Amino acid sequence: IEVFCYDPDGYYKGIAITPWTIFVPHEDVSFKTDSYQIDDSEKAKLEASFTKVTEALAKHPELRVTLFLAGHTDTVGDASYNLRLSRQRAQAIGKWFRQRGLKLPIAFEGFGESALLVKPADEVDEPRNRRVDYILSVDEPVLKSSGFHPTWTRL
């Protein structure tokens, strides 16, 4: 989006706005209850995600993009603990991507149990909620569905 403002003499000032975000489809890394450790059996999923991220970046080399990682938990445990655990999960994925050689900026945040994929009763062990979302974006993404206002931390 380009916006130009002209004065009566024809002088102008312009600005380019580039909204660009991609939610990277991927197979979720399965985290055990109360854990942010990435098991060796899950690394093939991360390799596939790494390929998808690098392919998306190759299509848009002109953009300065950040990989945002949004961690989540199930409803087992208290909310403050789950928030911390979800941040640790997102950070663990970010560290894996960095060690794998991803050079772009990486930021992470935890959403705890505020953005459940599956909505069970409280204290229900639901593995599909223990996940990390991958978002490539020019600007910090706002995940409106969670009601949580993230403070993204750079890796």
Evaluate if residue 90 carries a pLDDT over 90.
yes
Sign of the CA dihedral with 58 first, then 63, 67, and 68 last: negative
What is the rounded CA–CA span in Å between residue 49 and residue 67? 12
Amino acid (one-letter) located at 136: L
Residue 101 has pLDDT above 60, yes or no: yes
- What percentage of the chain has pLDDT greater than the value 70? 93
Q: Are 127 and 46 in contact (CB under 8 A)?
A: no
Q: Tell which residue, 94, 87, 82, 50, has the closest CA to residue 71.
A: 87
pLDDT score recorded for residue 22: 87
pLDDT, position 18: 61
Q: In the predicted model, what is the mean pLDDT of residues 109-123? A: 87
Closest CA to 72 of 87, 54, 57, 52: 87
pLDDT digits (tens, 9 = 90+) for 129-147: 999 999 999 998 877 655 6
Question: Is residue 43 very low, low, confident or very high in pLDDT (cuts 50, 70, 90)?
Answer: very high
The structure tokens 């705890």 sit at 112
Mean pLDDT, the chain, integer = 89
The token duo for 74 is 């199930």
Work out whether the CA dihedral 54, 153, 30, 97 comes out positive or negative: positive
pLDDT of residue 69: 97
Q: What is the pLDDT of residue 144?
A: 66
- Report the pLDDT averaged over residues 59-70: 93
- What is the mean pLDDT of the segment spanning 7-31? 83
Q: What is the pLDDT of residue 3?
A: 78
Grade residue 86 by pLDDT with cuts at 50, 70 and 90.
very high
What pTM value is reported for the model? Answer: 0.84
Residue-level pLDDT at 55: 94
